[in-house]
Amino acid sequence: MSLITPQINSDYVAAARCEGSHIFDRDGNSWIDGASGSIACSIGHAHPTVVQAMSEACQQTSFVYRTQFTNPEIERLSARLCERLGYAASFFVNSGSEAVETAMRSAQQYWRERGQGTKTRILSRRLSYHGSTIGSLSLSGHWPRRRSAGPLYGEPTQPTPYPFRAPKNDTLAAYGVACANELEREVQQLGQDNIAAFILEPIIGASGAAIVPPKEYMQRVRALCDQYDVLLIADEVLTGLGRTGNWLAMEHFGVKADIVCLGKGLNAGYFPISAVLVSADVYDHMANGSGAFELGHTHSNHPIGAAVGNAVLDVLEEERLVERAEWYGRGLKSKLKKVCSGHTIVGDVRGEGMLIGIELVDPTNWNNPFPPAFKTAARATQTAFERGLVIYPAAGFAGVLGGDAIIVAPPFNISEQATEQLVDRVDQTLASLSDAVFQQRRNTHAA
């Protein structure tokens, strides 16, 4: 095959058709999409509202270039997002990685416009994923992905609160505040004149499987950013537009960022469109300063992507799917907790809304991670796949490339019946995985 796939010498199933929460191949096999693809397809596959909007958009304005034209769909999408989420302006790119790059450059431009051109550095956290371009990966604390790239521009330095492995003698609130105080220490060390922004995922996605920080952490981070003139960038590429049961995950903490990145939840997997939203303060300094925004891509502000974004918003609003993600996700998490309680290899079930992480641990070793060589998360994903379930692996977040988890994140409108099957297949997957890893443990000890 000439197509380059993630594991070049492996075979991949060709998906022939997708509908709702299911993916089908040519031979009639089907999978429940328990990961919404890559945690993107929030409204399910082949939703008629989006299909129709895309087709109409193609017939009207298939493409115009942003240096000469805007288009009605993109203006409408921008206005709707800004009004709903409380921001002043937005810009559209293709991928989440590009949204992060755009956020970085917007933050740097903001300080230039204010006559503080030395404020360029962006701080980030040691457990995080912000994308696969060199700039966004440089900010990312996703160590397995960083290892395959290089050289990168700097490293993430800030701690990511991780309640499951927090020091046991602290309250979670105190632990959260202590993590946030590291930001103050670093800003003082580097000098606030050099720091443009701090970027974080409000709830960790791919790099740690739905790790939720204590509220006090986020509130302290916001206060420190204000105190030291550091912009706060929320990377909501994965969490944005309802995944965690709120339109933005930052709402869980009652905190508002200065710049927000959106991606997967905006395009719901239908078309590559992602966005950056900025506060009135950021926008006004650009508009009243140089008046220029000199970055973007050929397909920025794309009319078909915009039609998709508007249709996704229509579906989320009309079918009240963000609300559903909250209450249905709560129910799903308790069902998963129940089946997981029967498996000693599960250390933690966490998350908010339809973003649920299940951390896999070695119960024979104080719930420490399994050795990385066991590839426990990858095996869990493969085992589930063989049982007709797609889940998302997360690895390398605890200790030296240890730490395994799976993410369950189905479309917000998954049916009751598919949910029952999903939970049952997670149960079967964990049972089969336990047998396999304990056998491997015994073999390792015997050798």
Site residues (vs ligand PLP, CB under 6 A): 95-97, 100, 129-132, 201, 205-206, 235, 237-238, 263
Instruction: Considering the complex, state which of residue 106 and residue 421 has its C-beta at the smaller distance from ligand PLP.
Output: 106
CA atoms within 13 A on the CB side of 282: 29
Smallest distance from ligand PLP to CB 19, Å? 23
Instruction: Considering the complex, state which of residue 95 and residue 108 has its C-beta at the smaller distance from ligand PLP.
Output: 95
What is d(CA 397, CA 418) in angstroms, rounded to the nearest whole number? 30
Smallest distance from ligand PLP to CB 366, Å? 30
∠ Cα 159 164 165 (to 5°): 55
Q: What is the DSSP string of 2-41?
A: -S--SSTTS--PPEEEEEBTEEEETTS-EEEETTHHHHT-
Smallest distance from ligand PLP to CB 221, Å? 17
Instruction: Considering the complex, state which of residue 304 and residue 361 has its C-beta at the smaller distance from ligand PLP.
Output: 304
Smallest distance from ligand PLP to CB 139, Å? 10
Preceding amide of 167 cis, omega within 30: no
Long-range contacts of 418-425 (CB under 8 A, 24+ apart): 418/20, 418/21, 418/22, 418/32, 419/332, 419/335, 421/32, 421/388, 421/389, 422/32, 422/34, 422/389, 423/332, 423/335, 423/336, 423/339, 424/339, 425/32, 425/34, 425/384, 425/387, 425/388, 425/389
CB 40 within 8 A of CB 355: no
Smallest distance from ligand PLP to CB 198, Å? 15
Instruction: Considering the complex, state which of residue 238 and residue 241 has its C-beta at the smaller distance from ligand PLP.
Output: 238
Instruction: Considering the complex, state which of residue 261 and residue 422 has its C-beta at the smaller distance from ligand PLP.
Output: 261
Smallest distance from ligand PLP to CB 235, Å? 5
The CA distances from residue 80 to 91, 167, 210, 271, 340, in Å, are 13, 43, 28, 18, 40
What is d(CA 265, CA 182) in angstroms, rounded to the nearest whole number? 31
Instruction: Considering the complex, state which of residue 224 and residue 266 has its C-beta at the smaller distance from ligand PLP.
Output: 266
Burial class (CB in 10 A: 0-12, 13-18, 19+), 380: buried
Burial class (CB in 10 A: 0-12, 13-18, 19+), 305: buried
Instruction: Considering the complex, state which of residue 206 and residue 398 has its C-beta at the smaller distance from ligand PLP.
Output: 206
Instruction: Considering the complex, state which of residue 44 and residue 202 has its C-beta at the smaller distance from ligand PLP.
Output: 202
Smallest distance from ligand PLP to CB 99, Å? 7
Task: Output the residue with the shortest Cβ distance to ligand PLP.
Answer: 96
- The residues, ordered by sequence, that sit 6+ positions from 110 with a Cβ below 8 Å of its Cβ are 196, 231, 282, 285, 286
Instruction: Considering the complex, state which of residue 21 and residue 95 has its C-beta at the smaller distance from ligand PLP.
Output: 95
Smallest distance from ligand PLP to CB 91, Å? 15
